[in-house]
Amino acid sequence: MSKQINIDALVRENIRNLKPYRSARDDFDRGILLDANENSMGAPFEDDLELNRYPMPYQEELREKIAAFRDVHKENVFVGVGSDEAIDLLFRVFCIPGKDRVIVNPPTYGMYKVSANINDVQVDEVLLTEGFQLQPENILDAVQPETKIIFICSPNNPTANSMNISDVVRVLEGFNGIVVVDEAYIDFSRQGSLANNLNDFPNLVVLQTMSKSFGLAGIRLGIALANPEVISYMMKVKAPYNVNKLTSKKAIQAFSNLGNITTNIKSILKERERVINKLIKYEAVDYVYPTDANFILFKIKNAMDVYKKMAEEGVIIRYRGNEPHCEDCLRLTIGTQAENDRFFEALDKIK
Ligand SMILES: *Cc1c(COP(=O)(O)O)cnc(C)c1O
C-alpha cells in the first residue's frame, strides 16, 4: 500500500506560485538561433560540442540514461551540479528561511547542516546509536510542525555502514514531510537502493552521485530520484543551465563504459577486504567498523597524532574524532593497491 501525501502543501508558497525563468531553449532549439545572444562565430578553439551555444535546460538524454540504469522513469530524475545542488534545492523548495526545521542524524555528512545554515533553516539533531544505526522513534518524536525534511545517509559518511532498511521505512511511513536518503555510496553496498520504492513513498528523495562509484567527482554531476512532482519543483527552482555540456557529455559517456565502472567497484571491494584484514592486526587499532562504502572508519590510539604523522609521511586521511561516538576515529578512503600499501608503510613507520 502506498503512502498518501500532499507534496504541493509541503512546498513553500512562493515556490508553488513561482513563474520560472523561461530560457531561450525552452521554446525552440533548432533553426537559425538568434534568440539567446550567443556568439554564432563559435568557440575560440576547435569544438565539436557547439560550446558557443547554451546547454539543454532539462538534460533529457542524460536523465534517460540514468533512469534506465536505476530502473526508474526519466520523470523521476533530477540532475544537478553535484549532490550539493540537490540538497540546496530541497531546502529552497521546502523550507521557509527563519521558520522551518530539518532533522539530521549525526555523526553524518556535514553538508546537510551547512546547507541548512546557508538557507537559515533550523537543524535538530537525533544521534545515531553507538552502533551507528537510526533511532526512528526518537526521530519521529523530534518532529515539530515546522519540520519539513529528515536527512538519512545510507551508507553513512563517515561511519561507512548502511542503515537498517526497516528503520528507514519506519521514518518514511511515520513522517509526513520529505525524507532524503543519501545513497552516494550505494554501489559499494550489500543493500539495494531505495530508488526501487519511489512508488510506495511519495515523500522519498534518493540522492545519488557520479562522484564515487562512477569515478567522476571532477565533472560535478549529482542526481536526485523522487516522484515526478518533487522533481518538477526542483527543476522549476534550479538555475536554467545548471549542468554544462562538458559535464553531460562525460556523464553520458559513462553509461557506455559500465563494464569499467563495475570492474573498478570490484577492485575497490577487494582492496577493502585486504585493507580491513591488515588493519585489524595492528595493536594500536582498537576497532574497524563494518563498511558498506569505499572507505573505512577505524578507532586507533592517539588518532589525532596518527593523522598528523601520516600527513607528514605524505598520506592524507581524515580525522573524525570530533564527531559523536567517534572518539579517536580516522576515516580512510580505499585507494589503489599501491596507494593502500603506501598507507600501511606510513603506518608502520609512525607506530
Ligand atoms: C561524497 C558524498 C556526496 C557527493 O557529493 P557530490 O556533490 O555529488 O560530489 C554526497 N553525499 C555524501 C554523504 C557523500 O559522502
Select from 256, 289, 312 the last residue of a domain: 256
Answer yes or no: do 276 and 137 share one domain. no
What span, in angstroms and rounded, lies between the C-alpha atoms of 175 and 185? 24
pLDDT at 251: 98
Mark whether 282 and 336 lie in a shared domain: yes
Domain end position, chosen among 229, 256, 283: 256
| pLDDT for position 8 | 96
What integer is the mean pLDDT of 323-347? 98
Identify whether residues 227 and 105 lie together within a single domain: yes
157 lines ligand 1 (CB under 6 A): yes
**Average per-residue pLDDT in the chain?**
97
Q: Under a CB-based contact definition with an 8 Å cutoff, are residues 104 and 151 in contact? A: yes
- 64/107 same-domain check: yes
Distance (Å, rounded) from C-alpha 148 to C-alpha 15? 15
What does the pLDDT read at residue 22? 83
Q: How far is the CA of 153 from the centre of ligand 1 (A)?
A: 10
User: Is 38 within a domain?
Assistant: no
Among protein residues, the one whose CA lies closest to atom 5 of ligand 1 = 83
Residue 36 lies in a domain: no
Average pLDDT over residues 41-58: 96
265 and 250 share one domain: no
Residue 274, domain CATH: 3.90.1150.10
Which pLDDT belongs to residue 1? 54
Whether 33 maps to a domain, the answer reads: no
Cα distance between residue 233 and residue 212, in whole Å: 26
- Would residue 135 count as lying in a domain? yes
Question: 330 - beta bridge partners?
Answer: 298, 319
Same domain flag for 87 and 236: yes
Q: 275 with 202, same domain?
A: no
Atom in ligand 1 nearest the alpha carbon of residue 217? 9
Residue 217 CB less than 6 A away from ligand 1:
yes
d(CA 107, CA 248): 33
Q: What integer is the mean pLDDT of 33-54?
A: 96
Total residue length of the chain: 351
Residues 218 and 344 occupy one common structural domain: no
Look at residue 284 in the predicted model and tell me its pLDDT: 97
Q: Is 90 exposed, middle or buried (0-12, 13-18, 19+ CB in 10 A)?
A: buried
**Other CB atoms within 10 Å distance of the CB of residue 253:** 12
CA neighbor of 175 nearest in space, from 193, 148, 215? 148
For the chain, the domain total comes to 2
Q: How far is CA 330 from the centre of its chain?
A: 21
What is the SS3 string spanning the chain? CCCCCCHHHHCCHHHHCCCCCCCHHHHCCCCCCCCCCCCCCCCCCCCCCCCCCCCCCCCHHHHHHHHHHHCCCHHHEEEECHHHHHHHHHHHHHCCCCCCEEEECCCCCCHHHHHHHHCCCEEEECCCCCCCCCCHHHHHHCCCCCEEEEEEECCCCCCCCCCCHHHHHHHHHHCCCEEEEECCCHHHCCCCCHHHHCCCCCCEEEEEECCCCCCCHHHCCEEEEECHHHHHHHHHHCCCCCCCHHHHHHHHHHCCCHHHHHHHHHHHHHHHHHHHHHHCCCCCEEEECCCCCCEEEEEECCHHHHHHHHHHCCCCCEECCCCCCCCCEEEEECCCHHHHHHHHHHHHHHC
Within 10 Å of residue 257's Cβ, how many Cβ atoms?
Answer: 12
Do 108 and 236 belong to one domain? yes
Of 212, 223, 247, the one to substitute when testing ligand 1's pocket (max ligand atoms within 8 A of C-beta) is 212
Q: Write out pLDDT tens, residues 114-149.
A: 999 999 999 999 999 999 999 999 999 999 999 999
CB 251 near ligand 1, within 6 Å: no
Instruction: Say what percent of the chain tops pLDDT 70.
Output: 99
Please report which confidence band the pLDDT of residue 21 belongs to, taking 50, 70 and 90 as the band edges.
confident
> Is there a domain that residue 119 lies in?
yes
CATH number for the domain that contains residue 219: 3.40.640.10
β-pairing verdict for 329-333 and 318-319: antiparallel
- Does 189 lie in the same domain as 328? no
Same domain, 252 and 273: no
Return the minimum-mean-pLDDT range out of 14-28, 80-94, 97-111, 302-316.
14-28
**Model confidence band, residue 2 (pLDDT cutoffs 50, 70, 90):** confident
Domain-embedded: residue 41: no
231-261 residue pLDDT tens: 999 999 999 999 999 999 999 999 999 999 9
Closest Cα to atom 12 of ligand 1:
184
Q: Bridge-partner residues for 152, per DSSP?
A: 181
* Residue 79 within a domain: yes
Ligand 1 centroid to Cα of residue 222, in Å, is: 8
pLDDT at 29: 79
Task: Decide if 1 is inside a domain.
Answer: no
Burial-class residue 131 by CB neighbours within 10 Å (0-12, 13-18, 19+): exposed
Which residues form the domain of 301?
259-350
Q: Are residues 136 and 219 in the same domain?
A: yes
Tens digits of residue pLDDT in 158-210 = 999 999 999 999 999 999 999 999 999 999 999 999 999 999 999 999 999 99
The closest-lying atom of ligand 1 relative to the alpha carbon of residue 221 is: 8
Residue where a domain stops, chosen among 232, 256, 280: 256
Distance CA(82)–CA(182), nearest Å, equals 12
